[in-house]
Chains A and B, each alone.
Chain A
Amino acid sequence: MPNSAGKRFKPTKYIPVSTAAALLVGSTTLFFVFTCPWLTKAISPAVPLYNGIVFLFVLANFSMATFMDPCVFPRANEDEDKDDDFRAPLYKNVEIKGIQVRMKWCATCHFYRPPRCSHCSVCDNCVEDFDHHCPWVNNCIGRRNYRYFFLFLLSLSTHMVGVFSFGLLFVLHHLEKLSALHTTVTLVVMCVAGLFFIPVVGLTGFHMVLVARGRTTNEQVTGKFRGGVNPFTRGCCGNVKYVLCSPLAPRYMVDPRKKPLVTLQPPFLRPDLSDRQLTIKVSDNGFHGNVLQTKSKSSLDGLDDKGLEVQPPLPPKAERYNQLKSQLTSSEESSLSSKPVHPSTPAMYKYRPTFGTIPKVHYHAAGEKSLAPDDCKTSAILEEGGRGHDYRSEPNLDLPDYRNAPLHRTFQSSPLQLDSFATNTRSLSLKQGHRQLAERPRLGGMNTETVTSTPYKSVFSPGTLSNRNGSLSYDSLLNPSVSPTVGECAVHPGVPSMGFHSPYLPTKMCHMRGAELHRQPPPSYSPVRVGGGLGRHSPHPRDPSPVRYDNLSKTIMASIQERKELEEKEKLMHMHSHPQAQMAYAADSGVFDACGDSLATSGVIGYGVRTPILRSSASSLARAPRTSSSSLHSDVTGGGSVQGRAADPPYRSPAHQAHHSPATTPRSPSYSHHKVSFISALERSDSPRMGSLREDVAHGKFNGQPKGHLGTSSSSPGTPLSPNRSTSVKKVSGVGGTTYEISV
């Protein structure tokens, strides 16, 4: 038994057990010596026999309860808790039969206590199925010895009843000789039995109720299931069976000499790397695991190619959605080689080359923001976003069957595919950054295409897009009718053309955008801004909003709306010089990527804006991922809020600042920038590149910068330079290796 070193011998703790033992043995001995002989003669020899058996039973159970290991957990190895440092949450939630149970971190034993486990301060051990520490047996009552303790109580009660009644019988027959030795002794024994009868029988009855209910004393006393459901109950009969008939649990102390010897020698076999798959896990509070398997870069390449080449964009989207669905269900064998299915958000990923991580970032940010209220989801998204790698199997409570894990549960309202994809986009983007660069020219070529809004509408049906992670298109922000939090637009990261956008917009958005599109003659309006190298005219300073906001909170949406309005105003300022631009602005006001994907002319601004944000928040953001990674399955209710805490500040500041200006002032860019920076902080490798964009950004208009910058932007919304300065297109490498084409 792992005891703390230097334990002193405390005689006081042995007093109750000594007293109990002495009383039990002594009284019974006296009973047998003084009372039983007469009883044998007067009634029958069966009386002492019966009493002897019961007493033997009492002793056996008493000994087992006293000396048996109650199922003590050995202290955890150092390796096991190396990641549970000071940032690890105190509690972890685990779901047992549909009921959330909290597991507490034991600082002494260095692990998260399993359900029903508790640390006994007297024994200084964590005990499995901890019932209580009984001073009368000087031992913890736990999983292994609870049955013996219960039987001890039962048998002791029976024994006391027997002793008392037979002693009474004796006394009644010897009333005339009360002062005789035998009678006196019998009276004394009767008094002892009668004295302890009430507490013992009371305790026995109490434990009989506990057994019937399937609770431990600890749970009953602390009132854990007072108003709720006990997830550990098996029904009354099942509970009784479990207590009395279950096999004896093993001890957890293993003889080290018995360790098997295994030879390990390199070289080691490795699985076939060609089948290696990127494992993307979406965890719900760390214990819902949904592993998405995606092919390596090659498959994503194919995905990108197909997506970029598809005209109209709608069909691929729907196709991808279905493919993603099937992919999720067969995650094990998922191979995206030939399918244009993108494990991540189909729309977002497809357009990542143009706007890179922006949509992805938003995705995360939105996802995080939206998940914050949900204790189950936040950690999931944060973990994904916080770590640049797959989920580590740290001590956590992931669900075993991730494949069937109901991702639906994890995410509120979105089809599970997109959610998981969203979270995976970040990790995926890291890997596809290069290819995105290669994809860019193609995107430019597509920009010339002008797609009407009609195809958009046809593509999207309400069900095709995941609401939550599907991200909310910027358009929806402008339309109150479209709830931002359940935006169904897929984020189009900086899709230059409206045509590109359309497939990923929800039906309603499509309608809206369609209306906008119809307002202007398609030929004159060149929605394709990104890839402005194709001669995009400066009149269209902004691209259709490729960025989608995923389930942003109302605060964020409000700020985004404000920003949009501000941008619209700014556009109007340049209307005189750019009539077309005005129309374009009006057309894609909803499409504007507030996330700073304003990679079009205004996008440059966003970029520059993002840089400082990135730097300023890099530290805090960098911490957030680690926090989330360290507390993989941290319970949001418990310490999981650490993740939220780290993540919230960056978001809150712009949001708060966004509120400075009236609602009409669009502030979303700053917020989105902030969110972008949050995610981009995870990919800090690209931050230097962002810094290089500073000069370009200087020209752009700043629509709200986080913290310090915000005031400037708010005070002079019109100060930012005209987004359309020249028709030159600047290629900027962004976060995550994505390349942005900004028409400067």
Chain B
Amino acid sequence: MRSAPRTAARRTTLPFYHQSFHNLQELRHNASLSNKVFVQRDYTEGTVCKFQTKFPSELDSRIERTLFEDTVKTLNNYYAEAEKIGGQSYLEGCLACATAYLIFLCMETRYEKVLKKISHYIQEQNEKIYAPRGLLITDPIERGMRVIEISIYEDRGSSGSSSGSSSTTCSSGR
């Protein structure tokens, strides 16, 4: 292994290693956050949690439109399922009332269950679809369910705006 920092000239000759970084911090050594896109809420149907499926222009060159819309639509479906007022939510409320709301200490509410599903779904989408394209979706719950935050990363090894380079930069911490 070369001890000196890899230069641009040498990057092309290096084998293409997949360095798995399990920390977003380490990611920044290879990819730098260049922009953030915010998908806003769609309030046309009231205060139900629903996000706009409009394709942001900044993602035009980063991801296919259909993939993005599928993600948002799936999220919308999840939220609709979580907020559905039906038998299950009514029973939950009655049970909570009957136990003087002590049930909340032991049991997970339906909304929380769906939120977990959403979190897993976003994680899966990030790993499979968005991260390979240099994007990251932030769970809307972290933003108060107001926006879906999509972080756009650029390959630091390239000139910032190039469409992905074939080289991997070494960790700057070295």
Chain A residues proximal to chain B, CB less than 8 Å: 56-57, 59-60, 63-64, 73-74, 76-77, 79-80, 94-97, 101, 111, 114-116, 128-129, 147-148, 151, 231-232, 241-242, 244-250, 252, 254, 259-271, 273, 276-277, 279, 281, 289, 291, 332, 389-402
Interface residues of B in 108-166 (CB under 8 A from A): 109-112, 115, 119, 122-123, 126-127, 131-134, 136, 139, 141-147, 149, 153, 155-158, 163-166
B86 to nearest A CB, angstroms?
A: 8
Interfacial chain B residues near A77, Cβ < 8 Å: 143, 149
The complex places the Cα of A80 from the Cα of B146 at a distance, in Å, of 11
B85 to nearest A CB, angstroms?
A: 5
Query: With an 8 A cutoff between CB atoms, is B71 at the interface?
Result: no
The complex places the Cα of A332 from the Cα of B60 at a distance, in Å, of 12
Interfacial chain A residues near B50, Cβ < 8 Å: 400
The complex places the Cα of A672 from the Cα of B60 at a distance, in Å, of 35
Interface size on B, residues (CB 8 A): 87
Residue of B nearest to A94 (CB): B43
> Do the beta carbons of A263 and B27 come within 8 Å of each other?
yes
A97-B45 CB under 8 A given contacts A260-B126, A261-B22: yes
Residue of A nearest to B72 (CB): A400
Interface string of B54-79 (1 = CB under 8 A from A): 11111111111100000010000000
A393-B141 CB under 8 A given contacts A95-B44, A262-B24: no
In the complex, besides A262-B123, A268-B62, 11 extra interface pairs with C-beta distance below 8 angstroms are: A97-B45, A232-B47, A245-B93, A247-B89, A247-B109, A262-B24, A265-B19, A268-B164, A271-B61, A400-B42, A401-B54
Interfacial chain A residues near B100, Cβ < 8 Å: 56-57, 59-60
> Do the beta carbons of B57 and A400 come within 8 Å of each other?
no
> Do the beta carbons of B165 and A266 come within 8 Å of each other?
yes
Interfacial chain B residues near A289, Cβ < 8 Å: 54
A368 to nearest B CB, angstroms?
A: 21
Interfacial chain B residues near A128, Cβ < 8 Å: 144
In the complex, 25 of the A-B residue pairs with CB atoms within 8 angstroms, ordered by the A residue number, are: A79-B36, A79-B149, A80-B147, A80-B149, A115-B43, A232-B46, A247-B82, A247-B88, A250-B141, A252-B142, A263-B22, A264-B134, A265-B21, A266-B157, A266-B165, A266-B168, A267-B164, A279-B55, A279-B60, A281-B57, A289-B54, A393-B38, A393-B57, A394-B38, A400-B54
Contacts across chains A and B counted by CB atoms under 8 Å = 222
B78 to nearest A CB, angstroms?
A: 12
> Do the beta carbons of B57 and A74 come within 8 Å of each other?
no
Q: Helix, strand, loop or mixed for chain A's interface?
A: loop
Residue of B nearest to A82 (CB): B36
> Do the beta carbons of A270 and B55 come within 8 Å of each other?
no
The complex places the Cα of A262 from the Cα of B59 at a distance, in Å, of 19
Residue of B nearest to A147 (CB): B93
The complex places the Cα of A252 from the Cα of B45 at a distance, in Å, of 22
Residue of A nearest to B91 (CB): A245
B145 to nearest A CB, angstroms?
A: 7
Residue of B nearest to A391 (CB): B57
> Do the beta carbons of A260 and B43 come within 8 Å of each other?
no
The complex places the Cα of A270 from the Cα of B109 at a distance, in Å, of 40
The complex places the Cα of A97 from the Cα of B43 at a distance, in Å, of 8
